[in-house]
Amino acid sequence: MPERISCFVMSGGVGSRLWPLSREDNPKQFHDLAGHGSMLVNTVRRLKARPAGDTPVHVIASERHSERVRADLAGIDLAGGHAIFEPVGRNTAAAVAVAALETIATHGDGLVLVVPSDHEISTEEQFWNTVEKGVPAAEAGRLVVFGIPPDSPETGYGYIESVWKGNVRDVARFVEKPGLEMAKAYVASGTFFWNAGIFLFRAGAMRAAFREHQAAIWQKTECAFAAAATEVSGTYLPIEQYSTIPSASIDYAIMEHASGIAMVPASFYWSDLGSWQSLLDISPTDGNGNVVIGDVVAIDCERSYLRSQGRLLSVIGLRDVAIVSTADATFVGPVAKSQEVKRIVEQLEKSGRLETKFTPAHARVLQPGAWRERVAHWLFEETLP
């Protein structure tokens, strides 16, 4: 009988590289970007498709999205799992610590699989075949990551350098998003893989890694978890304790420091759908290589991502350009620079613009008092350490 794997979906991100479609109140994971349901629902269904073995599925999400999470997951059997809501975002290290703590509390030193909520993966069968290859290493106490064989010098992904050891490789080092020339060298070497952000481990092994490398994150997360309130709708972490957790990514906090990490090369197609370029690559196109969504008239355009939510968008003579128009904002730029949308979001936030936080549809239904309360809540979060 295959060992139980407790699965945790990290759904606290904003997806700012897909602005203006993705915003803080309606982020990327709740959108249907690949044409077959929301990214969150597709991720949960992929985890539930494990051929054999007990596989409870949990979702770690922002409390501000609790209603949306409950609506998306309505009618889906989580096999004993449930939603866990963060009052504020503290990055992926805290989320992974919560996953380990929940597993220890429920199943002891069991296997844990942590995945992002907003990635496109080719097939459930290939996904689970890859994960199961990492189970022996995880059972032996190693932290296991999954690498994507790169097919281009992508500068928007982190990389993993590995040493050949058969199906399971040793990780030599993690590398943050490189420049173009370095990315080309990585792809040519054959020893570098894209970091898929998927982790498999024993709960006790991750606890030991936190205690060695990030004791403060573990201790503060442990305190918050102990004070959490569990209701029928999910577990709610308390803001008083959770807001004190240092904010860090799991890669920076643990993976770049831990020893003996194993990597399994993925056999599935993968995309983080983190840019308009990635959506252009995976979406159905017209005869000229354009992705056209919504009320769009395109003449003499090639290899462009053209999307309108509402008003007519008419374009002519464009090549390799992304145009995304919503009710209150429009993005225009070369597809090759779509990874840099975050710079626009950062500039808007510095200017105090709310277009990065609220969609017009959500803003219209807020009563004046509720609007002020929501804005005050966001401003409070942004002052946290």
Structural domains in the chain plus CATH codes: 5-271 (3.90.550.10), 278-339 (no CATH), 361-385 (no CATH)
The 3-class secondary structure across the chain, one letter per residue, is CCCCEEEEEEECCCCHHHCCCCECCECHHHCCCCCCCCHHHHHHHHHHCCCCCCCCEEEEEEHHHHHHHHHHHCCCCCCCCCEEEECCCCHHHHHHHHHHHHHHHHHCCCEEEEEECCCEECCHHHHHHHHHHHHHHHHCCCCEEEEECCCCCCCCCCEEEEECECECEEEEEEECCCCHHHHHHHHHHCCEEEEEEEEEEEHHHHHHHHHHHCHHHHHHHHHHHHCCEEECCEEECCHHHHCCCCCCCHHHHHHCCCCCCEEEECCCCEECCCCHHHHHHHCCCCCCCCEEECCEEEECCECCEEEECCCCEEEECCECEEEEECCCCEEEEEHHHHHHHHHHHHHHHHCCCCCCCCCHHHHHHCCHHHHHHHHHHHHHHHCCC
Provide the edge-to-edge strand list for the sheet that holds 330-334.
291-293, 305-308, 321-325, 330-334
- The pLDDT-based confidence of 190 (bands split at 50, 70, 90) is confident
Lowest mean pLDDT among 15-29, 61-75, 186-200, 298-312: 15-29
Rounded Cα–Cα distance for residues 177 and 156 (Å): 6
Distance CA 203, CA 143 (A): 10
Helix axis angle for 215-226 and 203-213, nearest 10°, is 130
Structure tokens at 105: 């509390």
Confidence category of residue 384, pLDDT binned at 50, 70, 90: low
pLDDT at position 310 is 85
pLDDT digits (tens, 9 = 90+) for 87-127: 999 999 999 999 999 999 999 999 999 999 989 898 899 99
Task: Report which listed range, 33-37, 179-183, 225-229, 352-356, is most confident.
Answer: 225-229
The rounded Cα 328 to chain-centroid distance in angstroms is 26
At a CB cut-off of 8 Å and minimum separation 6, what does 337 contact? none
pLDDT in tens, 101-110: 999 999 999 9
What is the model's pTM? Answer: 0.88
